[in-house]
Structure 1
Amino acid sequence: MSLVLKHSEISTQVVQSFGQIILSTLDGTIVAVSERVAANKLSDVIGTSLPDFLTSQFIHPTELLETIAAPDLIPASGKTLLVRDQSAPYYVHVHIWDDILHVKWERQTSNIIFTTEVSKFHSTLNGRSRSLWPLVTEALEQIIGYEQIVILQILDDKSSKIVSGPPPLLGKVFSKNFITEDTYAYMREREHIYLPDTARPTQVLYSAEAGIVPHADVMAPPRPPRFSKYVGAKSIIAIPIILNSELWGLVVAWHSTMREIDFQRRVVCQLLVQSAARSQENLIKEKQLEFYELIKRSERQLRAKLSDGYSLNFCLRQHMEPIRQLAKADGIAIYYRGLINGAGLHASEADTERIVRFLQSREKPLLKDNNFRLRHGHRFDTQLTFAGIAALQVAKEEDHYIIWFRKETVSSVIDVEETARKTQDGSDDDGYRFIEREIKDTALFWDDDDLSFIHSLDKMIREATIIRAKEHEHSKENLISANNELEMLTFTLSHDLKNPLSAIKLGIQVLQRKDSMPKEQQKQWFSAIEDGVHSMEQLINSTVELTRTHDYKYVKEPVATDDLIQKIFDKARSQFQNPRCTLRVGKLYPVCGEKGAVRQIFSNLVENAVKFSLREADPCVEIYSERKEGRIKYVIADNGIGIPKEEIMTIQNAFQRASNAKGFPGSGIGLALVTRITKRLGATMTLESSGNGTTVTLTFSDDCL
């Protein structure tokens, strides 16, 4: 097209392709026109009177002229009028932006108002038994008559997916560079994007000066729409779906031949989509309420278990399945100080250990990654059976994690590849082409609902931990009080028993020395002895009655033993002067018990192992643990003097020592004490000895792990 400009100051910029556009000052002087208005006659339009031009363009535009004559009365959203020229009616849109009057008009192609269709749509929407978006596409098909309509959802990583549409396109995923960020920004600012001719997506706006900036509503898209090229559309319309003030997706409709959509039809479609978006928001809120109720129910159950004295890890294990389901995961694992419990699809123990080390290196309490295998698979020796994970550090404990797993979802994605090739006729091919790539090692995204649940779980765990810490502090105070009472009781017994014992001892000595004592004096001394025995009996009975009134509840919790055992061994080696003694340690699982009780058990057993191996040339103590069938088994073996076979059954009695233990310090109450403590903890102890070394096996339940 040849263009003769008579004003050298004329500047150009691109605007949307459909309609005719004029910009004027508020007093009615035209300062810019689009090429559809007067591309070859700019000097006849720019700088002239807007009212005069409109009068020459339309038949009796009285209301239009009155509108532009009173710009202060034009609403901020603008005003739309209906006028006619010699051949057809036109919609004229008038609004003000930056003190510039914008006048845009387009031909009316339909005078039908779709009241019936709109009412039917709202009725179906309110009582629907089907999915929302297919209803939307059906309603829009009736209104605009385009061949294809799809719902395109924008995913977290800015890729997009067709969630409603015809089977050949349903489920198609487009890469994040298919619809660029500037295109998304352009769509957020508009109620719809309409291209009646995709081959000509823009037109030129000629301005009298460079400083004139038209309103965003008339600006052209930042780049030609790639989707229209992909589907072969000649005409296309896209309506943004806004949910909770965010761009959730797009309704996209297209036709294989050029076909205009009347302005009134476009507005009706836009209103229907907005109505559907509100319904979707309400549906999401309803689902969220149901979801949050499930979360609260699980929280209440979890809190109840914790208040009953169970450990945090035990409670999490008992609720693994709801914790997995609420995060919509395919599997779950709970890692606690080397203990791993899993359900559903989850990593092997070795891979879980590697995942935990990776999480610890990040120093962040929460991780979500739907491409974990793709990004980190090289860190593992074996092929991972899952693709995505989410992980939560429990109560900020370094060795306590909940890990959720999601399986791989193999799919394909439509991507855009830059190219500089020419088409067969020698024309440029827009500089890109479409390729479909298979996507592997990727799982479904962790969405807002998933993260909401994980954050809620984290908050509940932290609150429960604080409550548990307060309970432990209270229990500790009770134990201190009980210990003080025990010390006082011990002192009282040692003091109060001396008097009757002294009387008994003296009476016996006197009776032994004086064989010829008169019977009356003997009776007095026997009476004194009897009174002493009675006093002791009364004192003992009172003491027993007193101790029965104190029944303290010891809360089981996981007790780590690795550092504990090492400290006990080092102390015993020094105490019994056995510096040559070595310690071999295997896997040490945490033990379910009360910390003080567990310390007493291992102190007695490790000290015995070190003490009774003193005379060996290469004294050695070996300790390891195993986990099997809901039990934790500890083995403590030494190469010391051993226990005679015939004494194995009696050695656990109080004050009973082995016949070969002469020359070694001890009172004979250690094993008896261990036996009683293990029974209180619901554990068992067995002894084995062949005369050369002793093996002690402790078996604990894992009900708190």
Structure 2
Amino acid sequence: MMLNDQFLLPILDMSPLATAIYSSPDLHIAYVNKSMLETWRADSSIVGKTFCSCFPSFHKEGFSSILKNVWKTGITYTAKDTPADIVCGNQVVKRYFDFEYKALLDDNGNTYGILHSSWDVTERKLAYDIAESQNEQLIFNRKLDAFANTLSHDLKNPLSVLKLGNHFLSRNINLPQDVNQKWLENMNMAIQNIESILDKKLQLNKIRDHKPVIEYLEMDKRMMEWTEEVKLIYPNSQVKFKLGKLLALRTDANAVYQIFFNLISNAIKYAAQTADDYLHIYSEETSKGIVYYLEDNGVGIPDVNLNLEFMAHERLHLQPDQVSGIGLPLVKELIERLGGAINISSKIGTGTVVRLFFPTMQLN
């Protein structure tokens, strides 16, 4: 390969496309143009040296191993929107690149060089990320609007019960005590359902106005607070809380509160109403994050409804007097916005297991 070619090299020197050529399996830098030097924040003294010795940070990020594999296999490697840490003095700047490691092969198919071309696409990548984030927020807001519409629709049912009960009792003053009591119980249940719907509306407003902030959450302390709060709302519940190992999370506190508060409330609302009712909450660590489990021995969810478990318009449980609500659909939206996932398994008469995956996240 004639690297001192009087025609080719001046063209590469003037090219806006960052270009370098490696001439050995050890990745000796045989040529680098001005654009690539600017990209690497380096000077021409690196020519003749190895890529690994000049850029240890690139070696740690895996670029050296990719280059060596290209030399070994003769297969060109192309990538887009790839992050790379560029070291400039004492500062490290993250940039994004489209690049290609093109294997240069002789007539026998053996590698004699690698042509490295690169284009800084940081501005494009950041603009795309901003647009994606805005689009995701727009979609999320639309889903919140749909949930709000569902709640507004749900209000009609308990309001109808109240109107019907009020009309019936006002026109029938001398009813038998048991009939009168039954109507009063139905009206009281309707009032509770209205309160539940209004609480969920407030939840939606808080979520819509909240800006996620990643922080360190000591979940053992938080879970104690949340379970005590739920007990105050359901003072007649017999559910016993079994709290196992509760690993700390790095995530958004408000979203996690909404997730667990909804799930704990569900476990209490749909308990079997016996002295043996329990909710077991524990966690385990995986290579990609932390998994939380909520196991109860409640009434369970019918198999036919498991595929509909996150649809806001579907009733998931057996009690006909409960409003449909948006608890599970909201939980699904929230945990997916955190990059996590939720899975539910259940059996009628046995109980339900909810699995929550929270990915590893870094503090801001």
When the two structures are superposed, what TM-score results if normalisation uses the length of structure 2?
Answer: 0.41
Work out which of the two has the higher radius of gyration on C-alpha atoms and give 1 or 2.
1
When the two structures are superposed, what TM-score results if normalisation uses the length of structure 1?
Answer: 0.22
- Of structures 1 and 2, the one with the larger relative CO (CA 8 A, separation 6+) is 2
